[in-house]
Amino acid sequence: MLQTTTSANDYQMALSMLESKIKLMRYSDATLRTYRYMFREFLKFVYPKRLYHITHTDIYRYQSYIVSEKSCSRSYQNQSINAIKFYLEHVLGQEKQVFALERPKKIAKLPEVLSADEVAKILLNTNNLKHKAMLTTLYSAGLRIGEMLSLKLGDIDSDHMRIWVREGKGCKDRLTTLSPHLLALLRVYYQSYKPAVYLFEGPDAKPYSASSVRKVLTRAAKEAGIVKRVKPHTLRHSFATHLLEQGTNLRYIQSMLGHTSAKTTEIYTHVSSKTLDEIKSPLDSMVSNGIFER
């Protein structure tokens, strides 16, 4: 009789192969964790069916399940699709055309942005020198949290006043600005902490913990009396918006942020207060022309 079920060990091997391939292709640790989790959840759904007996129908059933019964978010569903596609295409070597799923449409949300005054309050309410240096670096250079934590001492180029971002998103190197104020703060920080390799190190001389940075920022925002939900990426959004309001060319902002498409950077024109301040409502024109009073 043909065996149609499999053991948990076979599924564990599939997960190990997925993880090995992700590492080999040099995807980020965050992607590794996400794909591993998403693919494990899919395997739980189809267990104990043999992996080579899994059909597109099983995949569609799972997508229907997480949407209708688990009420998952659009982002969750997209990540689930990506993880399954990765296994089929990169681990099993199947052609891309053999697996197609309709992607859920993303909600076009505008980024949460802090005012310059709010950013200043956060930094002023961060008393620990290392914490202040980390949050200031995030904001003043417009870095992603992973990029900031991956900075090494040699990436701070004080001769040319720039910061090297090595293998940022998309495995691309780029340059961003080094503020004289940040440089002065980093020099004081260095004299106190003497990091060996990474600019911001944890107790084990490895990069500082991302979760700890998030906690530091949340606490500082709360102490500053800011009611907005502030995340490390909020500082990056604020950096880009404030540059735009200062009149910085959008192309330069795109380059410093490491955006492949200018359309990604253009979203900041929708949250810039300067842009809105320069637009006059037609109601005001009616009032100034005396039309509204009739």
Q: Identify the residue whose tokens are 């950013």.
A: 119
Q: How many CA atoms lie within 13 A of 74 on its CB side?
A: 8
Beta strands in 131-197 (DSSP E): 156-157, 162-165, 174-177
Structure tokens at 26: 């040099």
* Burial label, 257 (beta-carbon count in 10 A; 0-12, 13-18, 19+): buried
Output the six-digit token pair for 283: 């109601």
User: Is residue 26 annotated as part of the catalytic site, yes or no?
Assistant: no
* Cβ-Cβ contacts under 8 Å for 141 (sequence gap 6 or more): 148, 163, 176, 177, 178, 179, 182, 239, 256
Spot the catalytic one: 131, 174, 236, 237.
236
Note if 181 is an active site residue.
no
Angular region, 69: left φ>0, alpha ψ -120 to 50, beta rest? alpha
Catalytic residue flag (residue 259)? yes
d(Cα 66, Cα 89) in Å, to the nearest integer? Answer: 22
Secondary structure class of 198 (helix, strand, coil): strand
The one catalytic residue in 233, 237, 252, 280 is 233
CB-CB contact of 3 with 44 (8 Å): no
CA distance 217 to 104: 32
Q: Which of 35, 62, 139, 268 is catalytic?
A: 268
d(CA 192, CA 115): 31
Q: Which of these is catalytic: 174, 237, 242, 259?
A: 259
Q: Is 169 a catalytic residue?
A: yes
Do 137 and 159 form a contact (C-beta atoms < 8 A)?
A: no
Catalytic residue among 130, 166, 169, 219: 169
User: 48: cis peptide before it, omega within 30°?
Assistant: yes
Catalytic site includes residue 65: no
Q: Which of 144, 152, 214, 231 is catalytic?
A: 144
Indicate if 11 belongs to the active site: no
> Annotated catalytic sites, by residue?
144, 169, 233, 236, 259, 268
